[in-house]
Structures are given as structure tokens and as C-alpha cells.
């Protein structure tokens, strides 16, 4: 792998996530000519080439140029995309980042033609989330044994272009990351929906209930991120004994909200484990 300051990064699949990542990398000054995208549709690529990025409909051409290959196609097509590239991948041995949900490293490795541990390519499995699309993502990362410290630093630069990055030490913890941050935006959206609906029932018009809810979510997140104390202490500080907030929190406690979240996140992580078995089963 080239040790130059801006190694060439190639994205296989030029959809939502690849677009978000190249946007983040460009915003950080990554040169356009060091960013390649491949996709099966010219249409998907035209906006990128108009911005000076290198594009191709031939994944093998991208692989010829890239020091880092980001696998950004849907999980269901991954085996079909990788198998024709196996020989070339083994010859070039780029650093590989898979952002596909649910596909274990051993399946990627197998599809890329590794017959033994010594053939194993440096692969990082990344679990980003949808706020990456607005450069406020959170990405969990797990590295295979073949990834060295320079490789890890480079992965942090790539995935860090769209938000926070965090390494886990065991691959199965990616299912926990999925349960917390991967699927997490949907839980917060659901809470927002519930608060907007409740505000409307209390007499606010929907637009006002929505504006108040969304700004409150943003404000609470900003406070929690910038504060020296944790969320539990922040909650206590806005909960006066005998006051309004305490009355609302009592209702949540009576419904055992903490247990509901624990059960929901366990269900999510279990589904992640099941999907990894299903998606990784192809030869
Ligand atoms: N979106 C998220 O927030 C998010 C979060 C976590 C993880 N991920 C993961 O990120 C990956 C990409 O997601 P996405 O939302 O960016 O998907 P997407 O918008 O559908 O992008 C995937 C792109 O790959 C193209 N493609 C399909 N087959 C190809 C091939 N053989 N060679 C090259 N390109 C090919 C697709 O073209 P067609 O449309 O013609 O099929 C599409 O343009 C997925 O594996 C997903 O699990 C996404």
C-alpha cells in the first residue's frame, strides 16, 4: 500500500454511503483525483465525474488503481461482486473496508479467494449509520489480524470523514454496535414521532410540536456530548422533586422503559447474528 499522504481510495458501489464518504473526504481536502468510484450504472457515476472524481463501470479497473477499497454495495450482491475480483485482490492486496451490514470477515475473505490464514487480506468491517449522510455518523470498526497500525489509522481517516469512529476488539461486538448506533437513529426517530403526536394531543399544532421536539433532541444531544457529566446526571439536574419532569419520568419508570430498551436492543443484536449467518453462508 502506498504511504503517500492521500492514498487512492476506491469505492465499489457509488450509492448513498459512498457518496456521503466521498463528500466527507473532499471536505477534508482529499484530492478528487485520489478518489475512484465504480458502479454498474453510468447514471449513478455522472454526478461524481462532474465533480472531478474518477469513475468507472469496471470494478477491475478501480481495483487496479486503489490502495484502499471500500465495499459499498448492498450485502445481498456482495458475493457476486467480489468473486470475479478474487485473483486480482490477492495479487494487489489493498486495504479493504466493508461497510456492508451483516457480512462477516471470514465470508468476505473466502469470497476474495483466501485459502489459508497466510492469504488473508487486510479487511476492516465497518458498521456506519445513516447520520453519516449528514456527516454526523457513528461507525463501529473491527479489524482482521492482517490489518496493521498504519492501516487502522487510514481507516479512521476514511470513516472519520463522516463522523465518530470506534474500534471493537471482537467481531461479534459489531452486533452490539448495530443495536446501539447502527439501528439507533430509528429509535430516536420513533421517540420523536411519539413526542410530536403527544404534543398534538396536548393542543399544539403539528408544525410547532415537530419544531419543539427536533430542537429539543438536538439540544439534549449537544448538551450530553459537551457536558462533563453523563446523561443520568443531566436528567437529575432537570428533574426537580415534585415538578413536571419528575411526573413524566415516573410514567416511563412505571412502564419499565429501561427494560424495554434492553429487550429491544437484544432483539436487534440477535437479528444481526442471524443475518451474519444467512449472508455469510454463500460459498
Ligand atoms: N445507508 C446507510 O445509512 C447505511 C448504514 C450502514 C451500512 N450501510 C451499508 O452500506 C452499503 C451501501 O448502502 P447504500 O445505502 O449506499 O446502498 P445503495 O445506495 O443501494 O448503493 C449501492 C450501489 O452499488 C451499486 N451496485 C450494485 N451492484 C454493483 C456491482 N456489481 N458493481 C458496482 N456497483 C454495484 C448499486 O447499483 P444499483 O442501484 O443499480 O443496484 C448502487 O448504486 C450496504 O451494504 C449497506 O448495508 C448503509
Q: How many C-beta neighbours within 10 Å does residue 139 have?
A: 25
Largest CA distance in the chain: 69
Q: Measure 234 CA to ligand 1 centroid, in angstroms.
A: 39
Model pLDDT, residue 40: 95
pLDDT by residue for the chain (283 residues), tens digit each?
A: 444 799 999 999 999 999 999 999 999 999 999 999 999 999 999 999 999 999 999 999 999 999 999 999 999 999 999 999 999 999 999 999 999 999 999 999 999 988 777 778 999 999 999 999 999 999 999 999 999 999 999 999 999 999 999 999 999 999 999 999 999 999 999 999 999 999 999 999 999 999 999 999 999 999 999 999 999 999 999 999 999 999 999 999 999 999 999 999 999 999 999 998 888 887 7
Q: Domain locations in the chain?
A: 9-174, 184-273
Q: Residue 95 in 3-state DSSP?
A: strand
The span from the CA of 155 to the CA of 126, in Å, is: 9
CATH code of 9-174, in short, is: 3.40.50.720
Provide the grid cell at 273. 447474528
pTM of the model: 0.93
The bridge status of strand 54-56 relative to strand 35-38 is: parallel
Model pLDDT, residue 39: 97
In which region does residue 170 sit, left (phi positive, over 0), alpha (psi from -120 to 50) or beta (all else)?
Answer: beta
Range 184-273 has CATH code 1.10.3730.10: yes
Model pLDDT, residue 120: 87
Per CATH, 9-174 and 184-273 having the same topology is answered no
Pocket-forming residues, ligand 1, beta carbon under 6 Å: 12-18, 38-41, 44, 59, 72-75, 77, 81, 99-101, 128-130, 132
Model pLDDT, residue 32: 96
Q: Measure 103 CA to ligand 1 centroid, in angstroms.
A: 14
Amino acid at each position: 500500500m502506498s504511504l503517500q499522504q492521500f492514498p487512492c481510495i476506491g469505492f465499489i458501489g457509488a450509492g448513498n454511503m459512498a457518496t456521503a464518504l466521498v463528500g466527507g473526504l473532499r471536505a477534508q481536502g482529499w484530492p478528487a483525483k485520489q478518489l475512484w468510484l465504480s458502479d454498474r450504472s453510468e447514471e449513478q457515476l455522472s454526478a461524481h465525474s462532474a465533480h472531478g472524481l474518477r469513475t468507472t463501470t469496471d470494478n477491475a479497473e478501480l481495483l487496479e488503481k486503489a490502495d484502499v477499497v471500500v465495499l459499498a454495495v448492498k450485502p445481498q450482491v456482495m458475493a457476486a461482486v467480489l468473486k470475479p475480483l478474487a485473483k486480482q485482490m490477492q495479487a494487489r492486496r489493498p486495504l479493504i473496508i466493508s461497510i456492508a451490514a451483516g457480512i462477516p470477515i471470514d465470508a468476505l475473505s473466502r469470497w476474495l479467494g483466501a485459502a489459508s490464514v497466510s492469504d488473508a487480506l487486510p479487511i476492516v468491517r465497518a458498521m456506519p449509520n445513516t447520520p453519516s449522510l449528514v456527516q454526523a455518523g457513528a461507525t463501529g470498526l473491527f479489524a482482521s489480524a492482517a490489518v496493521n497500525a498504519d492501516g487502522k489509522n487510514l481507516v479512521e481517516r476514511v470513516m472519520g470523514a463522516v463522523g465518530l469512529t470506534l474500534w471493537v476488539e471482537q467481531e461479534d461486538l459489531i452486533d452490539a454496535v448495530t443495536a446501539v448506533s447502527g439501528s439507533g437513529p430509528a429509535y430516536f426517530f420513533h421517540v420523536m414521532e411519539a413526542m410530536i403526536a403527544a404534543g398534538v394531543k396536548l393542543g399544539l399544532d403539528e408544525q410547532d410540536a415537530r419544531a419543539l421536539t427536533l430542537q429539543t433532541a438536538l439540544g439534549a444531544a449537544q448538551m450530553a456530548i459537551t457536558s462533563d457529566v453523563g446523561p443520568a446526571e443531566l436528567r437529575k439536574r432537570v428533574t426537580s422533586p415534585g415538578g413536571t419532569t419528575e411526573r413524566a419520568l415516573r410514567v416511563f419508570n412505571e412502564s419499565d422503559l429501561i427494560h424495554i430498551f434492553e429487550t429491544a436492543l437484544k432483539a436487534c443484536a440477535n437479528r444481526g447474528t442471524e443475518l451474519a449467518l444467512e449472508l455469510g453462508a454463500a460459498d
